[in-house]
Structure formats: C-alpha cells, structure tokens
C-alpha cells in the first residue's frame, strides 16, 4: 500500500476515534430563590479561621474536632472509597492503550493418524500410524480497539466523575462528622449547666426540708409541710440523676465520634456560659449550591450517569479492533528463537450488532433511567439544602426570641419565689405555695438553659446547611 494511502487510513481512524454519539449533557434545572425567607445575620465572621468550628472560640471543642479528624473511622472509610474510585478510573483509562500480552507455549503431542488418499494414485494400502509432534511458540500479542464512537472515552469520563463525586462525598462525611460532634458537644454542655442548676436547687430543697423538720419538731407547722419538702427533694434528685444519665450517654457518643472507646473517654463538666453564639451570615441562596459537598456530589453522579448513557448509545455502532502477533514458532528446539522461526500476523476485526434479543436497547433504557434518577436526586438535594438553611435561620431567630422571653419569665419567677418564701417565713401562707413558686422558678431556669443550648445547636445546624462556611460581605 502506498504511503499516502496508509496515512489516509490512519487519519480516517483518528477522526473516527474522536467521534462521540448520544445526547449532550445539560445540567439539571433547579430554581434558585433570590433571597432567604427568614432573617440572616449580616455581620461577617472572622475570615482568618482555618476551620469553621473555630468561630466558637472554644479550645475544648477545637481539641475534640482535631481528635475526630485523626481517629474517626467513618472518615477513614470515606477516604478509602476515594482510592477505590480512583483505581476504577485507572481501570477504565487502561482501554485507551493497546493490550500487550506474552503467551509462551510448549506442546508435545502423540496421536494415532489415519491417512486417506485416492486409491488410483497410491498402489500401497495406507494404514494408520502414530505421530509425535513438538511445538515451541513464543508470541507477543497486541490488541487495540479503536474508539470509533467515544465508547471508551465515555466509560472513562463516567469513572472520572464518579471519582470526583467520591471526593465530594468525603467532604460531606467530614462536614457531617464535625457538625455532629459540635452538636453533641453543646448538648453535653447544656446538660452540664442543667446539672449545675439542679445541684443548686437540690441544696436549697434539702435546706428547706431541714428547716421544715425543725419547725415541725418545734410544733410550729404540721407534718404535711415536712412530707411535702421531702417529696420535692426526691423529685429534684430523680431529675438530677436522669440528667446525669443523659450526660453519660452524650459522653459516649462523643467518644465514638473522636474514635476512642467509650470506657476510656471522660470529659470534665463544662457548663454552657451565658454568652450568645456567634452570628453566621447566610449569604445568598445561590452560594449554597457552590458550598455544599452533597450537592456537588449529586451533580457529579448525574454527569457520570450521562456518560454511561452516551456509552450505551455507542453499543449500537460497529467496533473496530486492530490485532498483531509477533514472535517465534518452531517444532525443533535448536531452531527456536532463530530468525528462520520468526512468526507474525496482522489483523483488523469489526463487530456490528445485528440482533441480541433486545439486550442493547434495554441496556440503553436502563442507563437513561439511571440518569433521570440521578438528575432527580440532584434536584431533590438542592431543595433539601434550601429547606435546611431556612429551618436553621428560623430556629436561630425564634430561639433567640424565646430565650429573651424566658429570661423575663425567670426574673418574675425569682421575684415570686422570694415573696412567697418571705411570707412563708412569717407564717402567712402554707409551704405548698412556696413549693409551687420554686418549681416554676426551676422550670424557667431549665427552659432558659435549654433555649440557650438550642441557639448554639441551631448555629451549628446553619453552618452545616451552608456547607461548612460562609461568605464575606
């Protein structure tokens, strides 16, 4: 074949190998609101923070988060999934290159052979005889499939987008881990504050019980006041022990998150201080699509599914495979690996689907359904993201208002308790009135503490909903 003809054939194959069939990718359509329905803080957080949890300026939280990043098993599993996806991408990329194999072969065959010949040409009758045949074979096989319709390229891109999605999944696992730890940490600190309140109330009620007992022994009051005081001591003690139980459970949850056996982890009490949580600006709704790793993961999985749709389209078109074999073949050992024993073969093969029981059309339908499923999951994840931000903003706003109102109620409850206690000391009212006002005061204090803790947890919820960060103005 003339040189220009060879060049023409090679150029034609290269042009065909750059072709790609199937529909072009169009990102799933999502409706992005222009602003948040609920109020958002406009003050910028510290732009020099390395990690989002440092916005709380809590050394113990920073220490626990560092342990979680180092020891948490879920994070380790997510990292290994990235390595697995990267390896799968490498496997898909291997089809871009020729496949070269070395297949040495030695055979020694003994068999009975019967010859057949024209009787008019052979005067001696032919009889069966045994034959022994030796074969020494050392071929190098080269096989290369020309990517005429972009099938190999589509498979590779699908694996590449899956790898990108897995990296985003790692970031999503990291965000979930750190936010869950911060959430549990502030729950535990809220419980520590409640334990502190119950300890103070328990001392007060034990003192009240002793005073009532002394007054009863002095024949000043009836024994009913003593029994009522003892009952209130028991009620507070039960609530105190229940809060201790819950606190131990929270401590065990923290141990799992930081990768330490629960039996080996103890955290000293850290009551939550009456300091408002940091103000986190939510930014614009469109920015959430860029920040959240779960949304980016869903979009990459949609891209990967689309590439598999294009690969399924390519299955309808013919394939072209180039093969070459070269080496040595000889029935005599002394001639093996000599130039006279050289062996070569060149081949071009094509494969065109005619009928396969509708397997290929159904495969295309399967990949299309998976693409639409991935697209729907992406759109749903975007809606969930917007909902989570709105919910967090609502919680922050309303918890702050409830906390302020509860503080006002607590001040009035303190005033009422003091007045009723003074009147009881003067013998003007029964002890049941004091117990009721003190119970109301305790409930108000516990509510204030719980709402304060909810504010911190809602702040963590907002940071997680925003993707672990916030933009500056």
Q: Is the pLDDT of residue 385 over 60?
A: yes
- The values of phi and psi at residue 278, to 5°, are -65, 155
Q: Is the pLDDT of residue 232 over 50?
A: yes
What CA–CA distance (Å, rounded) separates 397 from 401? 7
Per-residue confidence (pLDDT) for residue 345, from 0 to 100: 93
Q: In the CATH scheme, what architecture does the domain 16-96+147-318+365-465 have?
A: Up-down Bundle (1.20)
Per-residue confidence (pLDDT) for residue 423, from 0 to 100: 87
**What is the Cα gyration radius of the chain?**
39
Once rounded to an integer, what is the mean pLDDT over residues 150-174? Answer: 95
Q: State the DSSP string of 374-420.
A: HHHHHHHHHHHHHHHHHHHHHHHHHHHHHHHHHHHHHHHHHHHHHHH
Per-residue confidence (pLDDT) for residue 38, from 0 to 100: 82
Query: Are the C-beta atoms of 130 and 110 separated by less than 8 Å?
Result: yes
The single-letter DSSP state of residue 429 is S
Q: Which of 23, 170, 149, 161 is nearest to 92 (CA)?
A: 161
Per-residue confidence (pLDDT) for residue 472, from 0 to 100: 38
Once rounded to an integer, what is the mean pLDDT over residues 359-384? Answer: 95
Region for residue 142 given its phi and psi (left: phi exceeds 0; alpha: psi -120 to 50; beta: otherwise): beta
Percent of the chain scoring above 90 in pLDDT = 60
Q: Which of 382, 384, 176, 387 is nearest to 298 (CA)?
A: 382
Q: Is the pLDDT of residue 171 over 60?
A: yes
What CA–CA distance (Å, rounded) separates 163 from 3? 43
The secondary structure element, H or E, covering residue 430 is none
pTM for this prediction: 0.85
The number of residues making up the chain comes to 473
Helices 431-465, 151-217: crossing angle, 10 deg rounding:
170
297 or 436, higher pLDDT: 297
Tell me how crowded residue 151 is: count the other CB atoms within 10 A of its CB. Answer: 22
Once rounded to an integer, what is the mean pLDDT over residues 167-181? Answer: 95
Once rounded to an integer, what is the mean pLDDT over residues 166-178? Answer: 95
- How is residue 145 written in tokens? 């499939």
Query: Are the C-beta atoms of 316 and 365 separated by less than 8 Å?
Result: no
Once rounded to an integer, what is the mean pLDDT over residues 13-30? Answer: 72
Q: Which of 163, 21, 147, 17 is nearest to 95 (CA)?
A: 147
Query: Are the C-beta atoms of 351 and 322 separated by less than 8 Å?
Result: no
192 or 439, higher pLDDT: 192
Q: Tell me: the pLDDT tens digits for 237-270?
A: 999 999 999 999 999 999 999 999 999 999 999 9
User: How remote is the C-alpha of 278 from its chain's centroid?
Assistant: 27
What CA–CA distance (Å, rounded) separates 457 from 441? 24
Query: Are the C-beta atoms of 321 and 75 separated by less than 8 Å?
Result: no
Per-residue confidence (pLDDT) for residue 125, from 0 to 100: 65
Q: If pLDDT is split at 50, 70 and 90, which confidence band does 115 have? A: confident
Q: If pLDDT is split at 50, 70 and 90, which confidence band does 473 have? A: very low
CATH for 101-116+124-146+320-352 (1.20.210.10, 3.60.110.10, 2.20.200.10, 2.60.120.260): 2.20.200.10
Per-residue confidence (pLDDT) for residue 8, from 0 to 100: 47
Q: Tell me: the pLDDT tens digits for 70-107?
A: 999 999 999 999 999 999 999 999 999 999 999 999 99
CA distances from 378 to 45, 296, 298, 385, 421 (A): 30, 9, 5, 11, 61
Domains 16-96+147-318+365-465 and 101-116+124-146+320-352 share a fold: no
Per-residue confidence (pLDDT) for residue 464, from 0 to 100: 93
373 or 46, higher pLDDT: 373
Q: How crowded is the C-beta side of 431, counted as CA atoms within 13 Å? A: 21
Once rounded to an integer, what is the mean pLDDT over residues 442-451? Answer: 90
Per-residue confidence (pLDDT) for residue 62, from 0 to 100: 94
| Cross-strand pairs, 131 | 111
What CA–CA distance (Å, rounded) separates 141 from 98? 10
Indicate the domain borders of the chain: 16-96+147-318+365-465, 101-116+124-146+320-352
Q: If pLDDT is split at 50, 70 and 90, which confidence band does 7 have? A: very low
Q: State the DSSP string of 25-89.
A: P-PPP----SS-SS----SPPPTT-SSGGGGG--HHHHHHHHHHHHH-HHHHHHHHHHHHHHHHH
Look at 109-123, 298-312, 403-417 and tell me which has the smallest mean pLDDT.
109-123
Once rounded to an integer, what is the mean pLDDT over residues 200-225? Answer: 84
What CA–CA distance (Å, rounded) separates 467 from 178? 12
Q: Is the pLDDT of residue 18 over 60?
A: no
Per-residue confidence (pLDDT) for residue 283, from 0 to 100: 80
Q: Is the pLDDT of residue 302 over 50?
A: yes
Q: Is the pLDDT of residue 117 over 90?
A: no
The mean pLDDT value of the chain amounts to 87
Q: How crowded is the C-beta side of 355, counted as CA atoms within 13 Å? A: 1
Q: If pLDDT is split at 50, 70 and 90, which confidence band does 284 have? A: confident
Per-residue confidence (pLDDT) for residue 458, from 0 to 100: 94
Per-residue confidence (pLDDT) for residue 435, from 0 to 100: 79
């Amino acid at each position: 074949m003339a040189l220009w003809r060879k060049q023409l054939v090679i150029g034609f194959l290269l042009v065909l190998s750059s072709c790609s069939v199937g529909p072009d990718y169009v990102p799933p359509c999502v409706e992005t609101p222009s602003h948040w329905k609920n109020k958002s803080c406009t003050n910028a957080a510290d732009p020099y923070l390395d990690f989002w949890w440092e916005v709380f300026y809590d050394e113990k939280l920073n220490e626990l988060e560092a342990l979680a990043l180092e020891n948490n098993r879920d994070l380790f599993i997510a990292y290994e999934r990235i390595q697995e996806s990267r390896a799968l991408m490498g496997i898909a990329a291997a089809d871009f290159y020729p496949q070269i194999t070395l297949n040495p072969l030695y055979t020694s065959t003994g068999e009975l052979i019967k010859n057949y010949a024209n009787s008019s040409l052979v005067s001696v009758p032919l009889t069966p005889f045994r034959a022994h045949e030796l074969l020494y074979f050392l071929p190098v096989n080269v096989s290369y499939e020309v990517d005429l319709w972009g099938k190999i390229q589509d498979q590779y891109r699908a694996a590449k987008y899956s790898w990108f999605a897995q990296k985003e999944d790692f970031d999503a696992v990291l965000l979930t881990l750190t936010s869950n730890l911060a959430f549990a940490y502030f729950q535990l600190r809220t419980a520590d504050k409640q334990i502190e309140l119950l300890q103070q109330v328990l001392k007060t009620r034990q003192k009240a019980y002793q005073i009532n007992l002394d007054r009863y022994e002095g024949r000043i009051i009836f024994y009913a006041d003593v029994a009522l005081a003892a009952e209130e001591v028991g009620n507070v003690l039960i609530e105190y022990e229940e809060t201790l139980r819950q606190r131990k459970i929270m401590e065990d949850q923290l141990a799992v998150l930081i990768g330490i056996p629960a039996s080996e982890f103890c955290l000293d009490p850290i009551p939550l201080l009456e300091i408002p949580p940091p103000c986190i600006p939510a930014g614009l709704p469109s920015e959430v699509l860029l920040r959240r790793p779960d949304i980016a993961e869903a979009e990459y999985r949609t891209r990967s599914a689309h590439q598999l749709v294009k690969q399924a389209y390519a299955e309808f078109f013919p394939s072209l495979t180039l093969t070459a074999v070269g080496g040595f073949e000889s029935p005599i050992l002394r001639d093996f690996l000599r130039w006279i024993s050289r062996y070569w073969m060149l081949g071009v093969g094509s494969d065109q689907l005619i009928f396969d029981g509708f397997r290929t059309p159904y495969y295309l339908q399967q990949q299309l359904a998976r693409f639409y499923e991935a697209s729907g999951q992406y759109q749903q994840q975007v809606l969930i993201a917007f909902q989570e931000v709105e919910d967090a903003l609502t919680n922050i706003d309303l918890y702050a208002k409830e906390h302020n109102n509860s503080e006002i109620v607590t001040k009035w409850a303190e005033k009422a308790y003091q007045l009723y206690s003074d009147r009881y000391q003067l013998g003007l009212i029964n002890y049941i009135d004091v117990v009721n006002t003190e119970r109301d005061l305790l409930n108000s204090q516990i509510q204030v503490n719980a709402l304060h803790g909810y504010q911190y947890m809602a702040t963590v919820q907002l940071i997680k909903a925003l993707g672990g960060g916030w933009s500056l103005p």
